[in-house]
Structure 1
Amino acid sequence: MTIAEPDPRWAELGAQACVTLAPLFTAIEHIGDTAVPGLPAKPLIDLMAATDDLDDVNDDALETLGYRIQPAETPGQLLYRREDYDSTAYRLHVVTTDTWNTRGERLLRDYLLAHPEARDRYATGKRDLMRRFGPGEAYTRGKAELLRELTDAARVAAGLPPLPVRDE
């Protein structure tokens, strides 16, 4: 999947999905690149929801709304995906309430919203990586390095320490 230029509809799609899912969770927000106006992104609406206990998530209710469970990318969270008829895709990350305030995805979104120069640097970096490498492993690796740097800046701005670098 390639990145698309910013689409003003992404904010509304994210907001609508949050309203629909809110009764099932303690908190829910639109996160990821589509939550940052002016940022190119994969046309994928990322959402993050919080629950006190992952075992209490109502899989049947989510399935009724079109969300199918997927293998989790990160330990300690659940992942669901929904595909709409208009080719819009949604990814729902469910985490525990006790980790909500320190989630990097939320911190990064807020940092990019508050720091347009960081958002623009990220946008330029993504476009450059896509132009140089196309979609694939080299793009993903390059983007991961930039994301790690920006997420560390977001954590520091929030008064949190940077996360240790994981061996890949």
Structure 2
Amino acid sequence: MTIEIRDYDPVWPGLARCAADELLEALPGRLTVVEHVGSTAVPGLAAKPVIDLMAATGALEAVAAAENALHALGYHGIETGMPERLFYRREGEPVAYHLHVVTASSWDTRNERLLRDHLRRHPADRAAYAQLKRGLADAGHDGEAYTRAKTALIQRMVDAARTGRGLPLVDVWEE
């Protein structure tokens, strides 16, 4: 499957808000917050048509026990091997959705949130990231090859964000 990169679409934040509201309503008391993360959450950044959402929970087990509510919304669990994270995907048009559920105790130090905020504040990095993504997509990279090829730039930006907040540096790949 080839990677499709689209120009930023100002409709993406509204789609993310609607999806976040649906999730909070479907899982009352199980999710403490849901935020739009990923490239579609960065105004002006070209992105794959995928809305990435990150949700915090007090207990991953509580969300896993309520997967029927997620299935009713079209989300299906995918095993990623990432520690302390549940991952769900919902197919759709004009966008698909990825839901990353993490522990509330790790919320403030999550790389996805830090990268989003960094890209919002650093136009040069945002432009470099867009150029890299378009180049990889144009070269025919797909799936994991596309993601892995972005690692060095993402690591540099996350390191800068973590350093700026006085956080220890960590590998962006959770394995």
Asked if TM exceeds 0.5, the reply is: yes
Change (3 A) 1:73 1:34: farther
Partner of residue 38 from structure 1, selected from 44, 47, 50: 44
Alpha-carbon deviation of 1:65?
1.1
Cα separation, partners in 2 of 1:164 and 1:20, compared to 1, 3 Å = closer
Point out the more displaced range, 142-151 or 100-109.
142-151
Pairing partner for 1:103 from 104, 110, 122: 110
- Asked if structure 1 preserves the Cα contact closer than 8 Å seen for 2:111 and 2:172, the reply is no
Q: Which has the higher contact order (CA 8 A, sep 6+)?
A: 2
Q: Distance in 1 between matches of 2:94 and 2:105?
A: 34
State TM-score, norm by structure 2.
Answer: 0.86
Shift in alpha-carbon separation, 1:73–1:10, aligned structure 2, 3 A? farther
Q: 1:126 maps to what in 2?
A: 133
The code of the aligned residue for 1:95 comes to V
Q: Distance in 1 between matches of 2:134 and 2:164?
A: 26
TM-score by length of 1: 0.89
Deviates more, 1:137-146 or 1:66-75: 137-146
1:139 offset after TM fit, Å? 3.4
Range moving further from structure 2, 144-153 or 103-112 = 144-153
Asked if the contact 1:2/1:135 (under 8 Å) is kept, the reply is no
CA contact (8 A) 1:77 1:94 kept: yes
- Tell me the equivalent position of 2:159: 152
C-alpha distance in 1 between matches for 2:7 and 2:100 = 24
Count of residue correspondences: 166
2:20 aligns with 18
Q: Residue type of the partner of 1:26?
A: T
Give the share of equivalent positions with the same residue, in percent. 50
Partner of 1:29: 35
Q: Encode CA deviations 1:32-72: one digit per residue, 9 max, x unaligned.
A: 01111111111011000011111001211111111111113
Deviation at 1:138, TM superposition (A): 4.7
Matched, 1:56 2:62: yes
Gaps of 5+ in 2: none
| 5+ residue gaps, structure 1 | none
2:95 corresponds to? 88
Aligned twin of 1:141: 148
Q: Verify the 8 A CA contact 2:35 2:54 in the aligned structure 1.
A: yes
2:163 partner amino acid: V
- SS in structure 1 of the partner of residue 24 of structure 2: helix
Q: 1:3 is matched with which residue?
A: 5
